[in-house]
Structure 1
């Protein structure tokens, strides 16, 4: 096409040029061919502009491979390097200088988060290797990542295990292992699991993971301390050099408010790190009553099972109604459980603004059920389906019991309504229905949060689950916990205060920023943020810090930053329409010495990380060999980017000027020659 275009333009230019030449050669002018050439150029360029084609141009650019140097900037690296700190910096700079001609080096530091500043401060209080790698993928996913050089001791204390972190883009990780991997004598508390909030006078469990290194055949004891007094002790018998065990305490919450508990292990002979022999944690003991009404179409074992699961928790006050009538005091309940009840229009109206847990069965009127809620719709009826539970691994509305997978896999089916299921917006499925060996998309246990939360258990027979769990394990732990968590999620009390200051969490670690939020509502219940909101935060020594909230959309937000460990109280104040509003609360900042829980390097993790990604493993002594390894990796190479663009001649304005100049030149010559 380009050839034909230029041929046509040449022909259009030649014809008038030949006519001009034939006329001018008979005249007395010094350069007879010049006007013809000018006429040819005029018509040729004009034709080129009139047809205005687009011509392609190709531009190539070479992108060097990116070498991302991920430096662990946590405080444990300072001890890992020790006297070799200066030599390490020298070697690092030498490597970077040798790479600059063939690679683009991007140095980054990480602790809990990733950043490009403060590369060698070694002062971060946490280490999240997986998050650092994932952020690299996120920030450079469209670039030519040649390799990531991970300089770390391999000890992570936050986030996912980096060996199982989903990284998406495939790139080799060259592990530069720092520190000493020799296992010292060590007795440590690695994790504590306990509810952050419990009801007053209830019993709760504290689970402690204990680790021991090089202490085979030793016997020690784990102590639980509350308010300075030891309330329980359990023996720990260590039977091998690399020993781990899990111990449990059952504690009664008999004091209201934030309670500090301490777990202690005695210091062992020749144990260099004693910081991890002690760990503190807090539990918020709440004195609140949650009233639950179970309404059933008829007496049923499910009703007894739910009641038994709740009645041992002092926080819950459970009532049962099988009369079919709407209780006069129904509005006083925090949650209504409807077991195969869809009820009259009066009941439906009474429940419009109340949290409800629906449990479906043979007696459920599906038409009325569909009208009462927006969690899901079921079109069908007839004989029920025996539906086995299939756990949804992505469920995150509340923490699931540790052994739930094993327990649920051995449960009998529930009798679920037959039909087509359609879930509503804002829902999350806890379990799906498994019909025979086929896992369906139909929910078995589903939640919908929002202004008025709801849940639906699509089947009767949960009482059998309690029996089967007791038969298999001698307890009702998992099924009862699922019932309690469901009730807890749905029965959260609605806060109708005009002004409130609140937090996402009230027990924080000393490496978490303290964030507070405030909401102010006008007389119509609408959120506003017109007036200024102030807050005073006071520590246990009565030192007060005063702040002003920032306006955020139609509410308020304040990021205080990091605070020292201790107990804090706050008082928020605002003046609106001539009235003063106050909101008070308290929170705790815990001291969690994450970087001191383990002081020896994990070379095994660093080696596995490099091996599974196609990289190589190095130590401080061999780190200068990274260059040779990079050169030998054929996958680390430049990428040639080719960019093809199309240019239209009509966009070139300078061609118009050239045509005008050519026309003007021919006109002046003819005037000069008196033609």
Structure 2
């Protein structure tokens, strides 16, 4: 308390005493007892009021003890079940989480991870993939600025995500891995990776790339066998030793039958090999009898052409040829879709042949488009008075009814370039992208589609599409958003299949560790998407068991998730309640588990993780050792923190209550004695 405040309080006490003495001492005619009572009450009232007016500040200091955080991070993937470490991992987790000595030293919290990361709730060891990096970065987000330590219970085998050993240098808190599994090295052959295209053309050869590995102390020979059903289609001898313990092979297989062809690649096991599950992998290829051929016709050179070609050929069964109008005339019937890039009068013969063939088309316009020619050669849309340059942005129509599309926010993408003028459409159309300028909607669509006279057509009134593909990569490190939009348009425009009120989409085959999603769109009689419909999906396995589940609305389509189904062939039917409309199909799930491929813990990576984070590595039988290391480590000691609160006296409500109480007692005393 400052000297000024102290002198002010003394002055307030002197003034209160003087006024009380003056009022009830010198001039009062009351009896002495009453004078003393009223005088003391008045003194206390004036003193309280004076203290409140001076309003001194009271400092209050509190002390708290902050313990370091101990995070128990448990691997919940199926690899621990394959290693027969389920009970041990659960017991170790419980022992660390409930140890009294650790609880005195740390604030303990338990977490789990497999393909995702979260608080420990129910360890079932059924995770289909292991993402250790996700668990470590999740803890870093929560505890990065605190004194914390992580105990990692895992075999160290990661099948998804970034390399956690290289990530360790960015972690602020140490990690103490406990290695789960038998670290004894046995002779082992394995297929570490298999890459194959999803599609192949009939009567063509398609490549299959296999990465093979060997662990052991001597030289061994084996044979790689690839079967289709019971038929051996490829046999190749392979050799390994301690120096050449890995190799990559590429084999060519013949696509001789249309449809889904399932293959099995297998390395013949060694006589003393304990783990043979990683010697075998299934894969599948869908053989199609023809590809989708797309012709891009243009008279100019522009980066858009390369961007479109890259996007369209993302699926290998699509071919793109860029040509001038003179080359295209007479050959258009060889293509399922024709893209007209910035047409001008040199396209006259192309339009004549397209109309004769009733060929689907996609027109992309820009600054070099001759709109006078385009307005004359077709009568479905027009831009009057086109000229000059305009920068336009796009807004996605989330209810586009033609195909299911995730609602990508293209409004954040760079503006595109178009010719100034209003684009009018004279036929019923569906708008995918709306044109905006400075965030204001114009009357013109940017990208739209329509069907007229048995022909499907789309128009994209903008150029510099390559900027969108580049922006997509900068933002997401991939091209998926732009490529999916282009691919969906190509798929729709290259088909002449009659439009249906119920469309169902799914892959022809899935791997058992992948997400399995069935999507559907339902339209009313006017072919408008109906978000109020009730769609149900029924799937039936080869053994006759079936299950029915509702499809949930997501954006402009319905979706059902079938993750976790066993390997096999499934018939699927989607129905619309009350409409008598249904669509059926079939898909295959191939048996594949990355978690079964590695049955030896990755001690090297776990050791590197511990070293890079200044932690220590322990083994599954070293519970007491890791407890002792945590308790005796000087980095993890509780810290006592003080906190000083400065409170103005006027904020203390009891002083205001005391002032009111004193005034009330004085008033009552005077009233009782007839002085009021």
Q: Is TM (by shorter chain) over 0.5?
A: yes
- Residues 526, 163 of structure 1: alpha-carbon distance in 2 compared, 3 angstrom cutoff: farther
Query: Is the 1:95–1:624 Cα contact (8 Å) retained in structure 2?
Result: no
- Residues 490, 501 of structure 1: alpha-carbon distance in 2 compared, 3 angstrom cutoff: closer
Superposed CA offset, 1:609-649 (max 9, x none): 10001101112343312233224433323355666667676
Indicate which of 336, 341, 345 corresponds to 2:371.
345
CA shift at 1:497, angstroms? 4.5
CA shift at 1:194, angstroms? 1.7
- Residues 319, 255 of structure 1: alpha-carbon distance in 2 compared, 3 angstrom cutoff: farther
Out of 512-521 and 180-189, give the one that drifted further. Answer: 512-521
- Quote the residue 1:566 is aligned against: 568
Secondary structure of 1:666's counterpart equals: helix
Secondary structure of 1:30's counterpart equals: helix
Query: Is the 1:59–1:643 Cα contact (8 Å) retained in structure 2?
Result: yes
Pair 1:98 & 2:101 matched = yes
- Quote the residue 1:221 is aligned against: 223
Q: Distance in 1 between matches of 2:489 and 2:465?
A: 18
- Quote the residue 2:659 is aligned against: 659
- Residues 116, 6 of structure 1: alpha-carbon distance in 2 compared, 3 angstrom cutoff: same
Indicate which of 99, 110, 114 corresponds to 1:111.
114
- Quote the residue 1:384 is aligned against: none
- Residues 271, 334 of structure 1: alpha-carbon distance in 2 compared, 3 angstrom cutoff: farther
Secondary structure of 2:237's counterpart equals: strand
Indicate which of 496, 499, 502 corresponds to 2:502.
499
Secondary structure of 2:570's counterpart equals: strand
Pair 1:601 & 2:601 matched = yes
Query: Is the 2:367–2:389 Cα contact (8 Å) retained in structure 1?
Result: no
- Quote the residue 2:160 is aligned against: 158
Secondary structure of 1:493's counterpart equals: helix
Q: Distance in 2 between matches of 1:569 and 1:498?
A: 21
- Residues 499, 104 of structure 1: alpha-carbon distance in 2 compared, 3 angstrom cutoff: same
* 1:457-476 to 2 correspondences below 5 Å: none
- Quote the residue 1:22 is aligned against: 22
Q: Distance in 1 between matches of 2:266 and 2:518?
A: 33
* 1:56-455 to 2 correspondences below 5 Å: 59-78=62-81, 80=83, 85=88, 89=92, 92=95, 96-117=99-120, 122-138=125-141, 140-141=142-143, 144=146, 146-165=148-167, 169-200=171-202, 203-214=205-216, 216-240=218-242, 243-286=245-288, 289-297=291-299, 315-316=318-319, 318=321, 320-323=323-326, 324-325=346-347, 327-328=350-351, 329=354, 332=359, 342-345=368-371, 427-429=469-471, 449=482, 453=486
Q: Distance in 2 between matches of 1:533 and 1:452?
A: 25
- Residues 567, 627 of structure 1: alpha-carbon distance in 2 compared, 3 angstrom cutoff: same
RMSD of Structure 2 on Structure 1 (CA):
4.9
Query: Is the 2:260–2:284 Cα contact (8 Å) retained in structure 1?
Result: yes
Secondary structure of 2:611's counterpart equals: helix
- Quote the residue 1:474 is aligned against: none
- Residues 8, 342 of structure 1: alpha-carbon distance in 2 compared, 3 angstrom cutoff: farther
CA shift at 1:533, angstroms? 1.2
Q: Distance in 1 between matches of 2:631 and 2:162?
A: 31
Query: Is the 1:125–1:511 Cα contact (8 Å) retained in structure 2?
Result: yes
Superposed CA offset, 1:494-553 (max 9, x none): 6964333345x6644434564434333345665432122111111223332111223456
Query: Is the 1:428–1:448 Cα contact (8 Å) retained in structure 2?
Result: no
Query: Is the 2:86–2:125 Cα contact (8 Å) retained in structure 1?
Result: no
- Residues 7, 572 of structure 1: alpha-carbon distance in 2 compared, 3 angstrom cutoff: farther
Query: Is the 2:105–2:631 Cα contact (8 Å) retained in structure 1?
Result: no
- Residues 319, 451 of structure 1: alpha-carbon distance in 2 compared, 3 angstrom cutoff: closer
Query: Is the 1:108–1:119 Cα contact (8 Å) retained in structure 2?
Result: no
CA shift at 1:602, angstroms? 1.7
Gaps of 5+ in 1: 355-365, 380-420, 433-440, 454-487
CA shift at 1:247, angstroms? 0.8
Superposed CA offset, 1:191-235 (max 9, x none): 111223445555432111111122744333322222332222333
Secondary structure of 1:100's counterpart equals: helix
- Quote the residue 1:611 is aligned against: 611
Query: Is the 2:267–2:280 Cα contact (8 Å) retained in structure 1?
Result: yes
Q: Distance in 2 between matches of 1:59 and 1:352?
A: 82
Q: Distance in 1 between matches of 2:505 and 2:482?
A: 19
Secondary structure of 1:582's counterpart equals: strand
CA shift at 1:672, angstroms? 4.9
Query: Is the 2:89–2:153 Cα contact (8 Å) retained in structure 1?
Result: no
CA shift at 1:563, angstroms? 1.2
- Residues 72, 247 of structure 1: alpha-carbon distance in 2 compared, 3 angstrom cutoff: same
- Residues 263, 144 of structure 1: alpha-carbon distance in 2 compared, 3 angstrom cutoff: same
CA shift at 1:367, angstroms? 6.8
- Residues 174, 7 of structure 1: alpha-carbon distance in 2 compared, 3 angstrom cutoff: same
CA shift at 1:554, angstroms? 6.1
Secondary structure of 1:25's counterpart equals: helix
- Residues 307, 123 of structure 1: alpha-carbon distance in 2 compared, 3 angstrom cutoff: closer
Q: Distance in 1 between matches of 2:644 and 2:511?
A: 54
Superposed CA offset, 1:272-312 (max 9, x none): 11111110022333456534223232799x999x99998x9
Superposed CA offset, 1:26-62 (max 9, x none): 3432275553443344345456667889877555433
- Residues 60, 47 of structure 1: alpha-carbon distance in 2 compared, 3 angstrom cutoff: same
Query: Is the 1:538–1:545 Cα contact (8 Å) retained in structure 2?
Result: yes
Q: Distance in 1 between matches of 2:53 and 2:530?
A: 62
Out of 323-332 and 626-635, give the one that drifted further. Answer: 323-332
Secondary structure of 2:138's counterpart equals: helix
- Residues 319, 176 of structure 1: alpha-carbon distance in 2 compared, 3 angstrom cutoff: closer
Number of paired residues? Answer: 573
Query: Is the 2:216–2:241 Cα contact (8 Å) retained in structure 1?
Result: no
- Residues 614, 451 of structure 1: alpha-carbon distance in 2 compared, 3 angstrom cutoff: closer
What TM-score do you get using the length of structure 2 for normalisation? Answer: 0.70
